[in-house]
Amino acid sequence: MVDLSTVTPAIALGPLDGRYRSVAAPLTNYLSEAALNRARLTVEVEWLVHLTDDGVLPGAPTLSDAERSYLRGVVESFGADEIAELAEIETVTRHDVKAVEYLLKRRLDAAADAGVTGTDGGATVLPTVHEIVHIFCTSEDVNNLSYALTVRDAVQDVWLPAARGLVEDLAAIARDNADAAMLSRTHGQAATPTTLGKEMAVLAWRLGRQVKRVERAEYLGKINGATGTYGAHVVSVPGADWQEVSRTFVEGLGLTWNPLTTQIESHDWQAELYSDVARFNRIAHNLATDVWTYISLGYFHQRLSAQGSTGSSTMPHKVNPIRFENGEANLEISCSLLDTLAATLVTSRMQRDLTDSTTQRNIGVAFGHSLLAIDNIRRGLAGLDVDRNRLAEDLDATWEVLGEPVQQAMRAASVAGATGMADPYERLKELTRGKKVTPEAMRDFIKGLGMPAEVEERLLALTPGTYTGIAEQLVAHLDK
């Protein structure tokens, strides 16, 4: 039997890098190990530039525009060759951040051969600044900033556009079906009618609120040394305002500065973000299960062209709601991981432990399953047609739902002074509970109440299909 672990090219262990790679691939540019190392290189380069630009270190040279451009080019050109080189260096260092430091130092040494010039066109000083690379940094100074950068960009560039797309798709269905009267089901039982559009609008509104929370997320960072005290900094260079150096550097990366930390940045912002994303997931899960149920009731039909050529492997008549079932499963996996991340990352033993190091390597997996679910649900929604005849059929068969408005109209008439309106709930219960009520029976009951003429006329004109309140108008809230 062939050992599949030795097959070339390598076979993916997980579905995000295998079966579903085409959907999850955009996250690789942000939340893969390679992307993390590129972000680490970014932080190391910008820290070197920051310290030399601001004259923080006595005796440090000033870098020329060409030298800064060369350093940033090291990040821009980071690719397959650099990934392989880092792996080779790490076999010696046995430390991922140290490997990045050594890679950057190699590039400093290569600057002259690359034709880089220093100030006034003279020789480059980059080979002489080895000791500024990673100066005053603990690995967590580099890591926390790198994770903040990669998570921020993954959320803003990949996850949020997909999430917004789902909200927009759902809102479009809501608007198109704002007037499509539909029987409600509370506790699974026939209940006060609504419209299909209003029910989709509820879910779009809920998802949209979570999107806005994620859009407002803060991404915190720190660079303050081994225990967050700037101890080595002030001993080595006592004349510098190290808090200001730290703040301007972190904010220069587009992050929010955290002034009070232990060796690690506390990760509270990550817990907040992952909880919001998980909440979005759970609402999307609610959407998937509701649409699945509406499909089973015949309210939605799935177009064959949208679902693919095969429904069931044995029952050719079937078109299975696989997009929504796939969405459910992946949302559950994503939420499990996000919940674990949020719960674990807020705790670190005293000034530092390494549980976060392993945990954070699963951030991409958590977002990947969410992204995959969103993609499947959007594809599923795009393949649906509403069957208004089926909606009307259910409503026409359920006249007992008018027991509610008749009862409430009796109460209001009694308050207004009408007689003969006693015990409205009990009387309607006797008429409707556990029974199928015909239109004729309901109208005969209304006529026998002795209601004021205008109230009776209004009730006699009512049908299950018109008893939807202002559901159609409520959909307009999506546009506010």
Burial of 434 (0-12, 13-18, 19+ CB in 10 A): exposed
**81 CB contacts (<8 Å, ≥6 apart)?**
none
334 is catalytic: no
Q: How far apart are the C-alpha atoms of 403 and 383, rounded to whole Å?
A: 36
Angle value at C-alpha 273, between 269 and 279, nearest 5 degrees: 150
- The active-site residue out of 236, 296, 312, 357 is 312
The one catalytic residue among 22, 187, 305, 309? 187
Beta-carbon-side half-sphere exposure of residue 424 (alpha carbons within 13 Å): 22
Most distant CA atoms of the chain, gap in Å: 104
CB 42 within 8 A of CB 152: no
What span, in angstroms and rounded, lies between the C-alpha atoms of 429 and 471?
Answer: 25
In angstroms, the CA 223 to CA 247 distance is: 8
480's tokens: 């506010």
DSSP track, 308-373: -S-S-SS-TT----HHHHHHHHHHHHHHHHHHHHHHHHT--STT--SHHHHHHTTHHHHHHHHHHH
Catalytic-residue membership of 187: yes
Contact 221, 255 (CB under 8 A): yes
User: What does 69-132 look like in DSSP terms, one character per residue?
Assistant: HHHHHHHHT-SHHHHHHHHHHHHHH--HHHHHHHHHHHHHHTTTTTT-B-GGG-B--GGG-GGG
Catalytic residues: 187, 312
